[in-house]
């Protein structure tokens, strides 16, 4: 579970009313009485969950497709709403910036991105406007899908399944919701949740490597080794060097060195003894 400070920052981000600039929304103190802790997805309950493969979605071009079409490679999912006054655009823009800095994995080859609206009122017009506002360029634009749920019933069921809570605030005319990046494995299981205000490109890259679930190509030996060197810290919501792994490897190397060193020394001593015995036999 994330620390209280993380929860507070999440609520500060998403309880902001329409202001003169989207950036100012980060620092406005919320007036809501909602417990900020509920704005955090409970990872202990939802990691390993799957979005229903045959749930119907509609992309930015009006094409209907099923979630199962996203299977086969890691998927980064961002839940947002397209009439948002600025915060949702910032979340997606931050993800775009972090993905643009990645060097070990490539969009399309190693992962794909889906931004999915949880607002039942979103449609092709708002979806298209939201995508144009992000001004995606390069490979990301080809492998980033913007979509809505076809059925409101599916919307409610699937967001509940992965622990994503959202609330409409009538007086401010906006939603309260987590600002999270959700990483799904090629089999469609939720394997990692990162919060946009806490992570950098390195964390996103490691989460993608985690989401691969060991499905590395022969040329990705280095990526596999890197994924083993880091572990996710649930308290801080970031990746850190896997100290126990290094300690274990150090102990293993020391043990093997001692073992083989002893064998070598034994053989050297035994060889010297044979030479002495031979010399003594020849001079007797």
Q: Is 90 exceeded by the pLDDT of residue 234?
A: no
Q: What global pTM score does this model have?
A: 0.69
Region 118-143 average pLDDT: 93
Please check whether residues 235 and 271 belong to one and the same domain: no
Please check whether residues 105 and 119 belong to one and the same domain: yes
Please check whether residues 102 and 178 belong to one and the same domain: yes
Please check whether residues 108 and 158 belong to one and the same domain: yes
Please check whether residues 199 and 221 belong to one and the same domain: yes
Region 134-159 average pLDDT: 94
Please check whether residues 277 and 228 belong to one and the same domain: no
Q: Range of 278's domain? A: 243-284
Please check whether residues 152 and 276 belong to one and the same domain: no
Q: Is 80 exceeded by the pLDDT of residue 223?
A: no
Please check whether residues 279 and 175 belong to one and the same domain: no
Question: Domain for residue 131, yes or no?
Answer: yes
Per-residue pLDDT at 197: 78
CB 98 within 8 A of CB 181: no
Please check whether residues 47 and 170 belong to one and the same domain: yes
Domain count for the chain: 2
Q: pLDDT tens-digit profile of 162-194? A: 999 998 888 888 898 999 999 999 999 999 999
Q: pLDDT tens-digit profile of 187-212? A: 999 999 998 877 899 999 999 999 98
């Amino acid at each position: 579970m994330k620390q209280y400070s993380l929860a507070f920052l999440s609520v500060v981000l998403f309880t902001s009313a329409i202001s003169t600039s989207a950036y100012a929304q980060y620092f406005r103190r919320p007036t809501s009485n909602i417990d900020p802790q509920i704005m955090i997805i409970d990872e202990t309950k939802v990691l390993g969950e799957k979005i229903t493969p045959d749930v119907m979605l509609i992309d930015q071009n009006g094409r209907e497709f099923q979630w199962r079409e996203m299977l086969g490679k890691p998927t980064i999912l961002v839940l947002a709403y397209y009439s948002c006054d600025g915060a949702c655009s910032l979340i997606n823009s931050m993800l775009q910036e972090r993905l643009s800095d990645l060097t070990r994995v490539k969009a399309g080859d190693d992962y794909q991105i889906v931004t999915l609206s949880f607002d039942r009122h979103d449609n092709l017009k708002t979806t298209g406007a939201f995508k144009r506002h992000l001004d995606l360029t390069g490979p990301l634009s080809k492998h980033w899908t913007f979509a809505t749920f076809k059925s409101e019933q599916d919307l409610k069921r699937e967001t509940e399944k992965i622990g994503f809570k959202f609330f409409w605030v009538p007086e401010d005319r906006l939603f309260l919701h987590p600002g999270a990046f959700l990483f799904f494995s090629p089999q469609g299981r939720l394997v990692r949740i990162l919060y946009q205000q806490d992570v950098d490109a390195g964390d996103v890259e490691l989460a993608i490597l985690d989401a691969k679930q060991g499905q590395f190509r022969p040329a990705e030996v280095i990526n596999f080794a890197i994924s083993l060197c880091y572990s996710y810290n649930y308290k801080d919501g970031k990746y850190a060097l896997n100290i126990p792994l290094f300690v274990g490897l150090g102990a293993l190397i020391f043990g093997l060195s001692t073992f083989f060193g002893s064998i070598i020394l034994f053989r050297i001593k035994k060889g010297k003894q044979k030479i002495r015995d031979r010399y003594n036999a020849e001079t007797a």
